[in-house]
Amino acid sequence: MKPVKVGLLGLGTVGGGTAVVLKRNADEIARRAGRGIEIDAIATLELEQAAALGVENIRLTKDAFEVVNDPDIDIVVELIGGYSPAKELVLTAIENGKHVVTANKALIALHGEEIFAKAQEKGVVVAFEAAVAGGIPIIKSLREGLAANQVEWLAGIINGTGNFILTEMREKGRDFADVLSEAQALGYAEADPTFDVEGIDAAHKLSILSSIAFGIPLQFDKTYTEGISKITQEDVAYADELGYRIKHLGVARRTDAGVEQRVHPTLIPKDRLIANVNGVMNAVLVKGDAVGATLYYGAGAGDEATASAVIADIIDVTRTLTTDPENRVPHLAFQPNELADTPVVDMDQVETAYYLRMSAKNEAGVLAEVTRILGDKNISIKAFIQKEPKQGESEVDIILLTHRVNEGDMNSAIEQIEKLDVIAGDVMRIRVEALS
pLDDT (average), residues 117-142:
96
Residue range 348-432 forms a domain whose CATH class is alpha beta
Helix (H, G, I), strand (E, B) or coil at 164: helix
pLDDT at 324: 66
Name the DSSP class of 144.
Answer: I
Q: At what angle do helices 303-320 and 26-33 cross, to 10 degrees?
A: 30
pLDDT at 327: 66
- 213 Cβ partners below 8 Å, 6+ apart? 142, 151, 154, 252, 286, 333
Res 104 pLDDT > 80 = yes
330: cis peptide before it, omega within 30°?
A: no
**Half-sphere exposure of residue 26: CA atoms within 13 angstroms, side-chain side:** 11
Res 406 pLDDT > 70 = yes
Phi, psi of 199 (to 5 degrees): 90, 5
Decide whether 4-135+303-338 matches 348-432 in CATH topology: no
Res 47 pLDDT > 80 = yes
Res 417 pLDDT > 90 = yes
How many C-beta neighbours within 10 Å does residue 60 have? 18
CA angle 268, 178, 234 (to 5 degrees): 40
Identify whether the C-beta of residue 135 lies closer than 8 Å to the C-beta of residue 282: no
For strands 59-61 and 37-43, give the pairing. Answer: parallel
pLDDT (average), residues 42-58:
89
How many C-beta neighbours within 10 Å does residue 88 have? 13
d(CA 51, CA 58): 10
For 65, 110, 217, the CA distances from 114, given in Å and listed in that order, are 20, 9, 11
Name the DSSP class of 143.
Answer: I
d(CA 138, CA 239): 29
pLDDT (average), residues 262-278:
97
State the pTM of this model.
0.93
d(CA 15, CA 311): 11
pLDDT (average), residues 153-168:
97
Q: Quick one: CATH architecture of 4-135+303-338? A: 3-Layer(aba) Sandwich (3.40)
Query: Which residue out of 98, 205, 222, 287 is catalytically annotated?
Result: 205
pLDDT at 388: 81
Q: At what angle do helices 176-185 and 160-172 cross, to 10 degrees?
A: 130
d(CA 131, CA 86): 14
pLDDT at 54: 86
For 82, 95, 115, 366, the CA distances from 63, given in Å and listed in that order, are 17, 18, 22, 66
Question: pLDDT (tens digit, 9 = 90+) per residue, 58-100?
Answer: 999 999 999 999 999 999 999 999 999 999 999 999 999 999 9
Phi, psi of 173 (to 5 degrees): 65, 30
Average pLDDT of the chain?
94
Identify whether the C-beta of residue 116 lies closer than 8 Å to the C-beta of residue 128: no
User: In CATH, what number does 138-299 get?
Assistant: 3.30.360.10
pLDDT (average), residues 185-204:
94
**Half-sphere exposure of residue 152: CA atoms within 13 angstroms, side-chain side:** 11
pLDDT level of residue 152 (50, 70, 90 thresholds): very high
pLDDT at 326: 67
Identify whether the C-beta of residue 158 lies closer than 8 Å to the C-beta of residue 206: yes
d(CA 429, CA 384): 14
Instruction: Tell me which amino acid residue 419 is.
Output: K
Res 335 pLDDT > 80 = no
pLDDT (average), residues 333-358:
92
Identify whether the C-beta of residue 214 lies closer than 8 Å to the C-beta of residue 133: no
Domain boundaries, the chain: 4-135+303-338, 138-299, 348-432
Render the burial of 28-40: b for 16+ CB within 10 Å, e for the rest.
Answer: ebbeebeeebebb
Question: pLDDT (tens digit, 9 = 90+) per residue, 292-325?
Answer: 999 999 999 899 999 999 999 999 999 888 666 6
pLDDT level of residue 392 (50, 70, 90 thresholds): low
Q: Does 205 participate in catalysis according to the annotation?
A: yes
